[in-house]
Copies of this chain bind each other. A is one copy, B any other.
Amino acid sequence: MQITLKDIARIAGVAESTVSRALNNKEGVGEETRLKILKIAEENNYRPNQLARGLAAKKTNMIAAVLSEMESPGNIEIVKNIEEAAEDENYQLILCNTKNDLEKEKSYLSLLESNQVDGAVFIGGGLVSSHLLRASFSEENDIVLVNRLSEEHFFTSVLTDYSSGIYNAVNHLFEQGYRKISFICGKRDNMIEEEKASGYYRAFQDAGLEVKEEYIFETESSRKAGYDAFLEIMNSDLMPEAFISSRELTTIGLVEAIKMGGYFIPDDFAVVGYGDNLLTSIIEPPLTVLSEPAKDLGKKSFEFLIKLINEEVKEPKIEVLTPELIIRESSISKYN
């Protein structure tokens, strides 16, 4: 059995409250007794029971990272950075994977409601569900959103400015001389995907060009969807010169399909993908990508969450980070 605070009190011949104060570096305990208590605790390898502590203090020093999916390297990267930041502040991180299942999300939300965690950061996923919305209305639930939008209600959020990201990507392709640019994005009832699309439109508009709707493909977010999208396009009579893929997994599938079809990048098709990870940098040819600011997304979101928990801020804050366009071979025109 672990040694408890009560045991230490008994050994030291003092009251539990004194031990508690000494161990927590609170004032009101003589230097001599403090030292004695610390020594006993050390010798007996005392570990405060976090449950009891959390119960009494109404604070667990745990937060939940609720992921919409664990497939994309980008999300993992964000979690990694949250974990790092959390560790610095002595917070533990509970990993939750909803797989885009609202029921699961709902159940993870109860971590907050049952006071098991002090706060939660939701990473990715569709428009906020009613559960989330409802939870956030209770002042006690501290929630931060990463790369996730809400319609009616403001959450403290850290977002990627996908619109300007795509805008830059399109312009880059324009500069390379490409005009027939196919855009592979997600279903546009998803606000984030709609935002990406807006960047596409805006770029064409600003260049005085007209968008041809046929060049926009809405697909699921998966490797296979990216692969299939290319096949479908090849079966049509549009012959794009370039592709922009707005998500990590579809980017991979798209590139696979192009290569599998015996085509060359960028000679036959230029490609701008999404996500700066091992894969996109190593694949042949190295891919021009929009690089998600994963590090800052992680750090910032945790920072916001801590401020919410500590009640240093009241109104929701929103920070928007711009993805960086990392230009590699896949989008460089040979006619340039």
Alpha-carbon separation in the docked complex, A220 to B48 (Å): 37
Query: Which listed segment binds B: A173-181, A276-284, A326-334?
Result: A276-284
Pick the residue among B79, B223, B278 that contacts A95 (CB under 8 A). Answer: B79
Rounded to whole Å, the gap between the CB of A120 and the closest CB of chain B is 12
Taking a contact as CB atoms under 8 Å apart, the answer to whether A60 and B51 are in contact is yes
Alpha-carbon separation in the docked complex, A307 to B180 (Å): 59
Alpha-carbon separation in the docked complex, A92 to B223 (Å): 29
Q: Does residue A303 face the partner (Cβ distance < 8 Å to B)?
A: no
Alpha-carbon separation in the docked complex, A114 to B48 (Å): 6
A31-70 CB mask vs B (1 if < 8 Å, else 0) is: 0000000000000010111111011000010100100001
Pick the residue among B47, B95, B259 that contacts A284 (CB under 8 A). Answer: B259
Taking a contact as CB atoms under 8 Å apart, the answer to whether A51 and B55 are in contact is yes
List of B residues within 8 angstroms of A70 by Cβ:
76, 80, 83
Q: Does residue A166 face the partner (Cβ distance < 8 Å to B)?
A: no
Chain B residue with minimal CB distance to A104? B87
Rounded to whole Å, the gap between the CB of A286 and the closest CB of chain B is 10
Taking a contact as CB atoms under 8 Å apart, the answer to whether B252 and A114 are in contact is no
Within A57-108, which residues are at the interface with B (CB < 8 Å)? 60, 62, 65, 70, 73, 76, 79-80, 83-84, 87, 92-97, 104
Chain B residue with minimal CB distance to A64? B92
Q: Does residue A255 face the partner (Cβ distance < 8 Å to B)?
A: yes
Copies of this polypeptide in the complex = 2
Q: Does residue A110 face the partner (Cβ distance < 8 Å to B)?
A: yes
Q: Does residue A1 face the partner (Cβ distance < 8 Å to B)?
A: yes
Chain A interface extent, by class: 35 or more
Q: Does residue A115 face the partner (Cβ distance < 8 Å to B)?
A: yes
Pick the residue among B73, B92, B113 that contacts A2 (CB under 8 A). Answer: B113
Given contacts A256-B282, A282-B255, contact A114 B79 (CB under 8 A): no
The 8 closest A-B pairs by CB, nearest first: A47-B114, A50-B116, A284-B284, A95-B95, A47-B113, A51-B55, A51-B54, A279-B279
Contacts beyond the supplied A79-B95, A83-B95: 13 A-B pairs with Cβ under 8 Å: A2-B114, A47-B110, A47-B113, A49-B115, A50-B115, A51-B116, A70-B80, A83-B96, A92-B96, A252-B282, A256-B282, A282-B283, A283-B283
In the assembled complex, 23 residue pairs joining A and B whose CB atoms fall closer than 8 Å, in A order, are: A2-B113, A45-B113, A47-B114, A49-B115, A49-B116, A51-B51, A51-B52, A51-B60, A52-B55, A55-B55, A70-B76, A70-B83, A73-B73, A79-B95, A80-B97, A83-B95, A83-B97, A92-B94, A92-B96, A93-B95, A252-B282, A282-B283, A283-B283
